[in-house]
Amino acid sequence: MKYAFISDIHGNANALDAVLDDINKQRVDKIIVLGDIAYRGPEPKRSIELIKSLNTTVVKGNADEWVVRGVRQGEVPDQALELMNLEREWIVNRIDQVDIDFLAGLPTEAIIEVDGVTMQAFHATPTSLFDVVLPDATEDKLETKLFCEKDAHLYLYGHIHKAYTRVVNGKTVVNLGSVGLPFDGVTKASYAIVEVSGGTISTSHRRVAYDYNKTIRQYEDSHYPNTQMMKKIIETGSI
């Protein structure tokens, strides 16, 4: 079985188009989506519609939760709270209640078992939509934060927008990076492929070029509330 894991689209439907086209060329058996679909991008509605059209497993991210109920104090720096809720309001005004209900009803993890291999997939950690586990986290932190709920062979997550793979005490950790807003300095959409055959696991990352200037123009033309910061992230692949 060959799986594509994608996450952190953040309303960048142009990047998602490119990734889905690339996935189609890889002859993947199934796509798994690990959250953050609409918030902070110029095409929230189309991003949700594209994900729904896959008819596949989708788990909830922190930004999906924010679309549903707003950004709360303590979840972001105090100085960013008002602006981030303005962004949330902009998003909500461009989607429907059925879209909000879809995001609200998403599960927080997916367990995949195939050919004797168990994979656990979630947005940030198995117990939180918000915890941050960076690529240089200690092995102890990886074990405490990521391995705490399920004894799996492979753990996959998004949230930090930085693609990496590590092996810790015989368990493989894969961060998918981000489809719509990479933070690792590469201005290309990121996703991961996992192939399982006869108990053998193969993992890889793919970086997909897309017309990010089109996305920037969409931010500008739609008068997005935080256009300058989002343009910088899109142009540089970093925050």
pLDDT digits (tens, 9 = 90+) for 196-220: 999 899 999 999 999 999 999 999 9
Give the pLDDT score at 148: 87
Quick one: pLDDT at residue 233? 97
The total of other beta-carbon atoms located within 10 Å of residue 65's CB is 23
Helical axes 13-25 vs 212-221, angle rounded to 10°: 150
- The pLDDT of residue 7 is above 90: yes
pLDDT at 199: 86
Residue 149 pLDDT > 90, yes or no?
no
Mean pLDDT score, 135-150? 94
- Give me the mean pLDDT over the 27-32 stretch: 97
Question: What's phi and psi for 145, nearest 5 deg?
Answer: -85, -35
Structure token pair of residue 196: 């399982």
pTM: 0.97
Q: 184 with 160: CB under 8 angstroms?
A: no
> Could you tell me the CATH superfamily of domain 2-236?
Metallo-dependent phosphatases (3.60.21.10)
